[in-house]
Structure formats: C-alpha cells, structure tokens
Amino acid sequence: MKKVLILEDEVNIRSFVVINLKRAGYDVIEAGTGMEALDKLQKNPDIGVAILDVMLPDIDGFEVCRRIRASSMPIGVIMLTARSQEMDKVTGLMTGADDYVTKPFSPAELTARIDALFRRIGGPDKKIESELLMQGDFVMNTRNHTLKKDGERIRLTQVEYAIMKLFMQNPGKAISREDILAHVWGREYNGDLKIVDVNIRRLRIKIEENPQNPTFITTVWGFGYKWGQ
Ligand code: CA
C-alpha cells in the first residue's frame, strides 16, 4: 500500500485529509508538528509522499521540506498553502517541494496531486532499468536516479530529476514549457506554467557555473528551454 504522511496542526483539517486519503486507498501517517513529522519520516522510510502544511506551532513546513531535502530521503513533497500566500508557492518550490495545493482544497484535488506525484517518482513495483545517460560533464544513472557533474553528486528533487532526464534524452532539442509540464507533471495537471520556470531556475543554480548566464540549460525565448548546444 502506498504510504503518505500528512503534517497539519489543525486537527479538523488533518482528520478530513486522513479520512479521504484512507478512503482513496492510502496508508496514512499523521503528524501535528514539524519535529513529529521528521521523526515519523525517519521511522517510516517507506513513506512515498509527504504533505506539509506551512503554518505550524514549531518549525514551519518550508523548514521541514528543507530538512527532508538535506537528508537523502527519496520522497515527494506537496505543500499546503493558503490562498493569500502566493509567495509561499515560490518559496516552497525553492526549498524543494514538488507541488503545492492551495487551501481550501477538495479531497479529489489532493488525491489527484498525490497520485500524479507517485506516478512521477515511481512506486516500489516500478520496473528496474539500468541505464547511464552521459553527456559532457554529466552522468545520469536512471536506475538509482542520481546525477553527477564532473564526478560530483548533484542533489535533485524528484521533479528536477525528471526534467533533467527529459533534457538528457533530448540533447540539442528545444522543448516547450507546455511539453515539459505535460511530461513531468502529467497531462491532467492543471497548474501554472510558472512551476516549470521555477524548477528550471533551481536546476540552473545547482548545475550552471553562472546561473545568470546559463550554458547548459538555455532559454528559447517565447517557447521553452534547450539542453546542450
Ligand atoms: Ca497550520
């Protein structure tokens, strides 16, 4: 059974999410504080997706996300943000979240996002492939989802990895933002194209010598992005 963690201090919202996720067939672990969530993530390494509220009594959801990314827990992260917190979406994505859901949300919307994220990161029964993609200074191992540049490991979120894989499978080809969104987030994803730009910006910070003047991921104005020359 796919395991999900829900971090939310408001008991009513948390119970509502738990009931609906269980109904959708998920195994659900609950946490009411940031530290409790980190503790439960350590104890349940089979959790595939964590849903993190931002406003919490101890450390906030962004800090929880940062600590998840600083460890090497291979999990998807969805932030719960309030409608008034437009900037939170960008902050959340910059701290390594894969997606966000705005409150108030419907159970169907949340489970659709979780399902999409599980599909992207691959379940435990995903077929094992062994393949190395090598281009210039970059080596991607599609079996263990790692990327190295000049032999040094570059830590990527699952979404960043999926974008890099798409690029490295299509060197020299201009790819539209719409195609990146559809490929990485799924055709049914109805979020904003800006999520693509935010992830590209984050990738450039990780892989470019000078992110302001990128040479690996270049912008194709009015269209999208291109990997390599
Ligand atoms: Ca809260």
Residue 7 Cα to ligand 1 middle (Å): 9
pLDDT at position 126 is 43
Question: What gap in Å lies between CA 102 and CA 81, rounded to an integer?
Answer: 5
225 Cα to the center of ligand 1, angstroms:
37
Q: 3-121 has which fold?
A: Rossmann fold (3.40.50)
Q: For every one of its 229 residues, what pLDDT tens digit does the chain have, with 9 covering 90 and above?
A: 799 999 999 999 999 999 999 999 999 999 999 999 999 999 998 899 999 999 999 999 999 999 998 887 778 999 998 766 666 666 766 678 888 888 888 989 999 999 988 887 765 444 444 478 888 889 998 877 889 999 899 999 989 999 999 999 898 999 999 999 999 988 778 778 999 999 999 999 999 999 999 999 999 999 999 998 7
Domains 3-121 and 132-227 share a fold: no
| CA of 194 relative to ligand 1 center, distance in Å | 25
CA of 161 to the centre of ligand 1 (A): 30
Residue 72 CA to ligand 1 center (angstroms) comes to 26
Separation of CA 8 and ligand 1 centre (Å): 6
Report the separation in Å between the CA atom of 14 and the middle of ligand 1, taken as the mean of its atom positions: 10
Calculate how far, in angstroms, residue 31's C-alpha sits from the geometric centre of ligand 1.
11
Spatial CB neighbours of 99, under 8 Å, sequence gap ≥ 6: 76, 77, 78, 79, 113, 116, 117, 159, 185, 191, 195
**Domain residue extents for the chain:** 3-121, 132-227
Which of 21, 42, 184, 195 lies closest to 106 in space, CA to CA? 21
- Strand pairing partners for 133? 140
* Residue-level pLDDT at 228: 86
Query: Ligand 1 centre and the CA of 160: distance in Å?
Result: 27
9 CA distance to ligand 1 middle (Å): 5
Nearest to 155 by CA among 66, 39, 87: 66
Contacts (Cβ under 8 Å, ≥6 apart) of 193:
177, 178, 181
Measured in whole angstroms, the distance separating CA 2 from the mean position of its chain's CA atoms is 17
Compute the distance from residue 127 Cα to the ligand 1 centre, in Å: 38
The CA distances from residue 158 to 20, 74, 97, in Å, are 25, 8, 9
Q: What is the structure's pLDDT at 90?
A: 66
Single pTM value for the model:
0.59
Query: Separation of 32 CA from ligand 1 center, angstroms?
Result: 9
Q: How far is the CA of 114 from the centre of ligand 1 (A)?
A: 19
**Residue 224 pLDDT:** 96
Q: Please give the distance, rounded to the nearest whole angstrom, from the Cα atom of residue 6 to the centre of ligand 1.
A: 11
Query: Class of 132-227 per CATH?
Result: mainly alpha
Q: Give 92 Cα–ligand 1 centroid separation in angstroms.
A: 15
> What pLDDT is stored for residue 130 in this prediction?
43
Where helices occur in 24-130 by DSSP H, the ranges are: 34-43, 61-70, 86-94, 107-121
Q: What is the reported pLDDT for 203?
A: 96
